[in-house]
Amino acid sequence: MPARRGPVVRILGKGMQQIVANRVAVVTGGASGIGLGISERLAARGDRVALLDVQGDVARKVAEDLNAKGAQAVGLEVDVRDRAAVDAAMDTVRRTFGPIAIAVTSAGVDADGSFTEIVWETWERVLAINLSGTFHCLQSVVPDMLAAGWGRIVTISSSSAQHGAANRAHYVASKGGVIALTKALALELAPHGITVNTIPPSVIDTPMAHAGQAAGHFPGVDAVAAVTPVRRAGVPADIAAACEFLCSEDAGFITGQQIGVNGGWYL
């Protein structure tokens, strides 16, 4: 984790200051991979961060580690498919830190399999976590942002939803839905000072990517890195850097966008 920088203050002149960090941020899937990188980045800049993850013990441990380094963080066990659990977790965040100003939805599940072999239970699970889970979390926090007249939402989608991918119809459909939901919310919430953007990563070196390689349906991070235009795989910090900007005051005129963090693919 980078050294905590504390609240960021912008000098406006004539003795006026504006705090542009130290807000309350919720990161789903925040205990590992991309979500962990984002949680660390927002905590380092001075935001109070709640890590929501189905791996409750891991989320709590990450939060403890962040707090030991001077951050303000809490880890909560949440299955994003469970709306009651999501609402309860958001209430805990409010009691702990205050109204929620930033939401990053990184919780997700990978999936692979030929279209004719996808069973309904698998289709439903992938959509429930990746798309409906995003819906539950955002609908639960948007009222805080509406009340404040300010908010930042970043969804984590996938480059596969932009160009398609064979043998991944359920995953691609779920992430395509996330992109469409992002665009719809951006238009609806823009008049209220709330921006909504999505980051569709390409291959990122995460536990999920390595699990796909072990399962035999992904060629491996090194293999993909070799043919990526920048000649390396992405890492969670790459996504976190873009996310930090989108969650900043400076990104107030950017909404409804797909910010591709992909090493040069799909230019």
Got the DSSP string for 126-164? HHIIIIIHHHHHHHHHHHHHHHHT-EEEEEE--THHHH-
Band of residue 8 on the pLDDT scale cut at 50, 70, 90: low
Write down the residue that tokens 């889970």 correspond to.
Answer: 133
The alpha carbon dihedral of 24, 28, 29, 34 has a sign of negative
Residue 256 in domain? no
Q: Is the pLDDT of residue 231 over 80?
A: yes
Q: How many domains are there within the chain?
A: 1
Residue 213 in domain? no
Residue 25 in domain? yes
pLDDT at 160: 87
pLDDT at 233: 77
End-to-end CA distance of the chain: 31
pLDDT at 2: 44
For residues 22-48, average pLDDT? 97
Band of residue 150 on the pLDDT scale cut at 50, 70, 90: very high
pLDDT at 228: 76
pLDDT at 234: 83
Catalytic residue among 25, 101, 160, 171: 171
Residue 169 in domain? yes
Q: Give the tens place of pLDDT for each residue, 122-145.
A: 999 999 999 999 999 999 999 999
Residue 125 in domain? yes
- Region of poorest pLDDT, from 176-185, 195-204, 212-221: 212-221
Tell me the C-alpha distance between 176 and 117, whole Å. 21
Residue 245 tokens, joined? 């900007």
Residue 267 in domain? no
Write down the residue that tokens 């959509």 correspond to.
Answer: 127
Q: Is the pLDDT of residue 203 over 80?
A: no
Q: Give the tens place of pLDDT for each residue, 68-93.
A: 999 999 999 999 999 999 999 999 99
Domain membership of residue 108 as a residue range: 9-206+236-251
Whole-Å CA distances, 257 to 19, 103, 182, 243: 25, 16, 8, 12
pLDDT at 47: 98
Residue 157 in domain? yes
pLDDT at 20: 57
Residue 118 tokens, joined? 């996808």
List the CATH number of the domain containing 159: 3.40.50.720
- Nearest CA among 34, 33, 79, 71 for reference residue 52: 79
Band of residue 229 on the pLDDT scale cut at 50, 70, 90: confident
pLDDT at 241: 97
pLDDT at 1: 44
Residue 169 tokens, joined? 């119809």
The question of whether 171 is a catalytic residue gets the answer yes
Tell me the C-alpha distance between 18 and 165, whole Å. 45
Whole-Å CA distances, 237 to 36, 51, 201, 213: 9, 16, 12, 21
Number of helices (H), then strands (E), belonging to the chain: the values are 10, 8
The alpha carbon dihedral of 166, 37, 72, 75 has a sign of positive
pLDDT at 211: 60
pLDDT at 204: 77
